[in-house]
Amino acid sequence: MALLSIVLPAYNEEQNIANTAKVLSELMTENQIDYELVFISDGSKDQTYEEIKKVAAKNPHIRGAQFSRNFGKEAGIFAGLELATGDAVIVMDCDLQHPPQVIPQMWEMWKNGAEVVEGIKSSRGKESVGHKLSAGLFYKIMSKLIKMDMNASSDFKLLDRKVVDVLLGLPERNTFFRALSFWAGFKTETITYEVQERQFGESKWSLWSLMKYAIANATSFSTLPLQMVTVMGVISILFSLVLAVQTLVKFLMHTAQEGFTTVILLVLLIGGFIMLSLGVIGHYIARIYEEVKGRPKYIISDVTDNVQGEVVGAWKKR
Ligand code: UDP
Ligand code: MG
């Protein structure tokens, strides 16, 4: 019988673990799906990992791991993919904002031959205005950069074992899971779902973390910002050509004297362009630096008893 793995990254979600585990295992049993739940505690500072160990001790279908510190949701997803043993893997949030009722449908689609099932949000659910604005801006920029509608796409998706192995085989550290499944291709189908309200606790994204996430993903997935540097250079050159002609004409007509304001403005404008460009290039150098160091995406500090002996990432329980 085919096995379905459900990967659930969790950061400070102590209130959600027991409930989510219960809801999902009941749903799987009801639909007669052979399943495993893989909880990854992303260096949670609360009792999340203790809760995972508790549910794992009671239910052999549940496995889990704890990171040595917070590595971010992206790392959590990849650790979960690594730990998952299923023939198909679903990634979802552990706050039940991704409705579990959709899972049996995704499973059916997989059984009928789909290799990737993309969860598409029909609405973004209830969010604060600030969050909506920042997330909205973030997804707008991202959509432009990677030429894909990011506003509706999500991390809620099913991947066939083949696709999981492709993603796990990628050598890069800076990954962007949401876009990578598009990039990988394969027989893809979509399923629309309504974002639910968070069960317990609060969203883990601040405006700042969302901004960092946006920059990291944009630079890890697109080189468009680098090309923008060239575009800005071309604009500057055109601009300076116009001014050069004007200056020369004035000089030849012996009417050149003032022009101090123009000089100041030009210095500021060009200085701004140059610094912005250096910043953009700097981000890419930072990415290259991180990749070259070749450090692991995450460090696992502990796994639940039923995972012992398996090699997970660079880590093996001794
Ligand atoms: N998450 C994580 N590491 C982080 C931040 C979030 O593993 O550093 C998990 C979190 O526990 C949740 C999922 O990612 O299961 C989505 O996070 P959240 O619900 O806070 O985001 P939102 O739904 O508000 O976009
Ligand atoms: Mg959430």
Please indicate whether residue 10, judged by its CB atom, sits closer than 6 Å to ligand 1: yes
Ligand 1 pocket, mutate which of 66, 71, 95 (most atoms under 8 A from CB): 95
Looking at ligand 1, which atom is closest to the CA of residue 76?
7
What is the DSSP pairing of strand 34-41 with strand 153-160? unpaired
The pLDDT score that the predictor gives to residue 310 is 64
Are 19 and 93 in contact by the 8 Å Cβ rule? The answer is no
Please indicate whether residue 203, judged by its CB atom, sits closer than 6 Å to ligand 1: yes
The pLDDT score that the predictor gives to residue 52 is 93
Are 163 and 186 in contact by the 8 Å Cβ rule? The answer is yes
The pLDDT score that the predictor gives to residue 312 is 59
What pTM was estimated for this model as a whole? 0.73
* Nearest residue by C-alpha to atom 10 in ligand 1: 10
Q: How far is residue 156's CA from residue 106's CA, in Å, rounded to a whole number?
A: 10
List b or e across 118-146, with b for residues whose CB sees 16 or more CB atoms inside 10 angstroms. Answer: bbbbeebeebeeebeebbeebbeebeebb
Put residue 294 in one of left, alpha, beta given phi > 0 → left and psi -120 to 50 → alpha: left
The pLDDT score that the predictor gives to residue 154 is 81
The pLDDT score that the predictor gives to residue 148 is 63
Please indicate whether residue 80, judged by its CB atom, sits closer than 6 Å to ligand 1: no
pLDDT over 70 percentage in the chain: 86
- Ligand 2 center–CA 103 separation, angstroms: 17
List b or e across 65-88, with b for residues whose CB sees 16 or more CB atoms inside 10 angstroms. Answer: bbbeebbbbbbbbbbbbbbbebbb
- Ligand 1 center–CA 9 separation, angstroms: 7
- Ligand 1 center–CA 15 separation, angstroms: 13
Please indicate whether residue 139, judged by its CB atom, sits closer than 6 Å to ligand 1: no
- Ligand 2 center–CA 97 separation, angstroms: 6
Residues 84-131 pLDDT 10s: 999 999 999 998 889 999 999 999 999 999 999 988 888 655 556 666
DSSP string for 116-164: EEEEEEEE--S--HHHHHHHHHHHHHHHHHHTS-TTTEEEEEEEEHHHH
Please indicate whether residue 74, judged by its CB atom, sits closer than 6 Å to ligand 1: no
What is the average pLDDT value for the chain, to the nearest integer? 83
Q: Is the pLDDT of residue 302 over 80?
A: yes
Please indicate whether residue 213, judged by its CB atom, sits closer than 6 Å to ligand 1: no
Looking at ligand 1, which atom is closest to the CA of residue 71?
8
Q: What is the mean pLDDT of residues 145-163?
A: 79
The pLDDT score that the predictor gives to residue 282 is 84
The pLDDT score that the predictor gives to residue 309 is 61
pLDDT range class, residue 38, cuts 50, 70, 90: very high
Please indicate whether residue 13, judged by its CB atom, sits closer than 6 Å to ligand 1: yes
User: 59 vs 197, which has greater pLDDT?
Assistant: 59
Q: Which two tokens stand for residue 171?
A: 């050598």
Q: Whose atoms come closest to the Cα of 134: which ligand?
A: 1
Are 120 and 190 in contact by the 8 Å Cβ rule? The answer is yes
Residues 157-186 pLDDT 10s: 999 999 999 998 888 887 888 888 877 888
Residues 241-297 pLDDT 10s: 888 888 888 878 887 666 677 777 778 778 878 887 888 888 888 888 878 887 888
Q: Is the pLDDT of residue 137 over 90?
A: no
Please indicate whether residue 92, judged by its CB atom, sits closer than 6 Å to ligand 1: no
Ligand 1 pocket, mutate which of 11, 69, 139 (most atoms under 8 A from CB): 11
* Nearest residue by C-alpha to atom 2 in ligand 1: 73
Q: Which two tokens stand for residue 207?
A: 């405006």
* CA dihedral sign of residues 151, 75, 176, 230: positive
Q: What is the mean pLDDT of residues 127-138?
A: 66
Q: Which two tokens stand for residue 313?
A: 């990432």
The pLDDT score that the predictor gives to residue 149 is 64
Q: What is the mean pLDDT of residues 135-159?
A: 73
H helices within 59-99, ranges in order? 73-83
The pLDDT score that the predictor gives to residue 318 is 40
The pLDDT score that the predictor gives to residue 257 is 67
The pLDDT score that the predictor gives to residue 288 is 86
Q: Is the pLDDT of residue 200 over 80?
A: no
The pLDDT score that the predictor gives to residue 48 is 93
The pLDDT score that the predictor gives to residue 147 is 63
Longest dimension (CA), the chain: 91
Q: How far is residue 260's CA from residue 66's CA, in Å, rounded to a whole number?
A: 62
The pLDDT score that the predictor gives to residue 133 is 66
The pLDDT score that the predictor gives to residue 317 is 44
Please indicate whether residue 93, judged by its CB atom, sits closer than 6 Å to ligand 1: yes
The pLDDT score that the predictor gives to residue 228 is 79
Please indicate whether residue 43, judged by its CB atom, sits closer than 6 Å to ligand 1: no
Q: Over the Cα atoms of the chain, what is R_g? A: 25
Q: How far is residue 242's CA from residue 211's CA, in Å, rounded to a whole number?
A: 37
Q: How far is residue 260's CA from residue 156's CA, in Å, rounded to a whole number?
A: 58
Q: Which two tokens stand for residue 187?
A: 């027989």
